[in-house]
Amino acid sequence: MEQRLSMITLGVADLDASRHFYETLGWTRAGEEPGIVFFQLNGLVLGLYPRDALAEDAKLDPAGTGFGGIALAYNARSRSDVDAVLTEAARAGATILKPAEDVFWGGYSGYFADPDGHPWEVAWNPFWEITPEGYVRLGNQ
């Protein structure tokens, strides 16, 4: 298996509400597919799909609740961008889980949850580079 990630699909309770949330953040929908929403990101795709249908497709119980052991992340270009993104997310309807703060590894980060509770970390990492295209480059690469 190649070392890469192609797509992240989030199971959502209300497809239209979730689409609206991400569009309010300024994201542009890629195409018009019935029953699913796609956003083309830099090098991968984010999909929004009804939670029950996603669970059925994966042969899982759709009743799973609470922390799922995963967080999505948005790496900001600067410390001040972290605060700006958290503010923008809150205006779009996100719940702020943790306001931005200095963190033990030398950066600055906070968390928000989208309307379905999916946690997003917003972080500035002074040891990583973000290319003009938005790709993250680890400091040792």
In Å, how far are 23, 67, 114 from 88, measured between CA atoms?
12, 23, 12
Please give the torsion angle defined by the CA atoms of residues 92, 29, 131 and 70, in that order, rounded to the nearest 10 degrees.
60
Q: Which CATH number fits domain 1-61: 3.30.2130.10, 3.40.50.720, 3.30.530.20, 3.10.180.10?
A: 3.10.180.10
Structure confidence by residue, pLDDT tens digits, 40-54? 998 889 999 999 999
Task: Confirm whether 1-61 and 70-141 share one CATH topology.
Answer: yes
Structure confidence by residue, pLDDT tens digits, 65-118? 777 778 999 999 999 999 999 999 999 999 999 999 999 989 999 999 999 999
| Per-domain boundaries in the chain | 1-61, 70-141
Please give the torsion angle defined by the CA atoms of residues 78, 99, 41 and 133, in that order, rounded to the nearest 10 degrees.
0
Q: Which CATH number fits domain 70-141: 3.30.70.380, 3.20.20.100, 3.10.180.10, 3.55.40.20?
A: 3.10.180.10
pLDDT band at 58 (very low <50, low <70, confident <90, very high): confident
Q: What does the pLDDT average to over 121-136?
A: 91
What token pair was written down for 118?
């999916």
* Whether the predicted model's global pTM rises above the 0.75 cut: yes
